[in-house]
Amino acid sequence: METTLRGVGVSHGVAIGEVRHMGTAVLEPPAKQIPSDEAPREQGRARQAVEAVAADLIARGNLAGGEAQHVLEAQAMMAQDPELQADVERRIAVGSSAERAVYDAFASYRALLANAGEYLAGRVADLDDVRNRIVARLLGVPMPGVPDSDEPYVLIARDLAPADTALLDPTLVLGFVTEEGGPTSHSAILARALGVPAVVAMPGAGEITEGTVIAVDGSTGELFVNPSAEKRAELEEAAAARRASLSATSGPGATSDGHKVPLLANVGGPGDVPAALEAGAEGVGLFRTEFLFLDDSAKAPSEEKQVEAYRKVLEAFPEGRVVVRVLDAGADKPLDFLTPADEPNPALGVRGLRSLLDHPDVLQTQLRALAKAAEGLPVHLEVMAPMVADRIDAKAFADACREAGLRAKFGAMVEIPSAALRARSILQEVEFLSLGTNDLAQYTFAADRQVGAVSRLQDPWQPALLDLVAAAADAAKAEGRSCGVCGEAAADPLLACVLTGLGVTSLSMGAASIPYVRATLAKYTLAQCERAAVAARATDTADEARRAAQAVLSGE
């Protein structure tokens, strides 16, 4: 009997195949006491297991490259956290075995995250995965991970850790579904990078029996259990139509009546550039520079190292636009040399531009490196600050850029509601705005972007979020400035049309989404996009907004 479940579609495409579930998580080790004279040996075992797991994660990152590499390197740093290691050794010293000490130390750290208001809860899946890998190595049992199979399948998991998602084989894993997670989780971002259809935040998916045939639509978020022949044909026909539409559309992004909407790529380092070029990106709308700083959390990378990495990306887009976000540290990306270790609520504390203004030497080094990297290149370099709250922040950043001798446009990210509401004031100091819709939604709705339980509030179709986008876009238009979107909202082809109708001047996304957005924009006029935007903002829920926009664009 065919049944339908609904989650949040995060990566386009249709997958039809048999279900395979993730391997069983590592069981809780027994709580047994060890003699005191065995403590040194157990402490040594724990250290060796930690180093082996960290090395494995780094190796996986090197294989995966791109966005996945810096995610996995951050996980390796989590495994090697000095405070966690000290806690493990303390527990062993009072009688715990190595595996039990690791299990309990990670459980304690997990509880600390929850007590901090769950602003770091988005990394709980990563934390659990590190724990499971260390405990598995100590117990001598197989690592948790994707199942072995000779035949293609659709993977179902409670959640997917980055180490698993990064190395999925698209020839075997047709698509995946998770019960938890959100549209901006690491798994969702990496799924889009891989081009694997995916749906997240789907409660009940784990109850589907192994071997059951399902159909997953990563565009609509629907899952069909035991789909009928008619439903399979319908889904495959729709997928074929999407592919045909993609191949028929090329060139710069534009509406059907010629209104230009540059389509840019979000990149996490030089490794993401080939995919962006292949997708026809017109430049880079978000160059995340954190990958350079995650190699060593104790100190910032040298100016020379930064120049080398930045120039590789700038050289790839001659005459193109490259928008660089300066270091966005803090909250879920803590750095020992930069961010406070004892903040009770890190996401609402000293992060992003606030951290850099507290450490002007770090900011100046990065800005000088960007200036040197762009020397002699025809690229249009733009540099923006994360987490700008008001005009004072914007002025401080613009002054720092001038002090560093940076010949580029200076901009501000709109991720805090105050920045959207007072965008015109901020534009007295900077030359462009870029909307980070992931964080903007998080702060607008007080809903952690990685917590599946509040994923409906992270839906970028929420009318309140569209209101803030409109406010920022209107302010930019009034000041004769540009206002792009570099959050994951831009990757939704239908929403891309609405954002265009709201007055957004460019869209930046993961490379895999660019062809879908290009093809969809090319179907509609600017006037249609504007009417769809008005219809979406006139509703009260995300689902209503989506349906209203679809109705306008389909001529209903």
Written as six digits, the tokens of 524 are 């509609």
Please list the residues that pair with 483 across neighbouring strands.
433
Angle, in degrees to the nearest 10, between helices 526-537 and 463-479: 130
DSSP character at residue 151: S
Q: Is 486 a catalytic residue?
A: yes
From the candidates 401, 483, 486, 497, give the one annotated as an active-site residue: 486
Please list the residues that pair with 20 across neighbouring strands.
155
Q: Which of 381, 373, 267 is nearest to 319 (CA)?
A: 381
Alpha-carbon gap, residue 411 to 408, rounded angstroms: 10
SS3 state at 21: strand
Q: Which of 75, 131, 74, 142 is nearest to 104 (CA)?
A: 131
Alpha-carbon gap, residue 21 to 155, rounded angstroms: 6
- The CA–CA distances, whole Å, from 520 to 60, 254, 506, 550 equal 35, 10, 15, 12
SS3 state at 469: helix
Alpha-carbon gap, residue 198 to 33, rounded angstroms: 44
Sign of CA dihedral 506, 280, 235, 16: negative
| CB distance 443 to 415 below 8 Å | yes
| CB distance 484 to 215 below 8 Å | no
| CB distance 118 to 346 below 8 Å | no
Q: Which of 511, 496, 69 is nearest to 317 (CA)?
A: 511
SS3 state at 13: coil
Kindly provide the residue ranges of all beta strands, DSSP E only, lying in 226-305, ordered along the sequence: 263-267, 283-288
SS3 state at 425: helix
From the candidates 12, 21, 186, 359, give the one annotated as an active-site residue: 186
Per-position b or e across 220-229, b if 16+ CB within 10 A of its CB: bbbbbbebee
| Residue-wise DSSP of 345-397 | SGGGSS-THHHHHHSHHHHHHHHHHHHHHHTT---EEEEEESS--SHHHHHHH
Written as six digits, the tokens of 459 are 């839906």
Alpha-carbon gap, residue 416 to 342, rounded angstroms: 23
Parallel, antiparallel, or unpaired for β 198-200 and 173-178?
Answer: parallel
Task: Find all residues with CB under 8 Å of 323, minimum gap 6, and list them.
Answer: 264, 283, 284, 285, 286, 287, 382, 383, 384, 411, 434, 484, 486, 508
Alpha-carbon gap, residue 267 to 288, rounded angstroms: 6
Q: Is 483 a catalytic residue?
A: no
Kindly provide the residue ranges of all beta strands, DSSP E only, lying in 271-365, ordered along the sequence: 283-288, 321-325
Catalytically active residues are: 186, 486
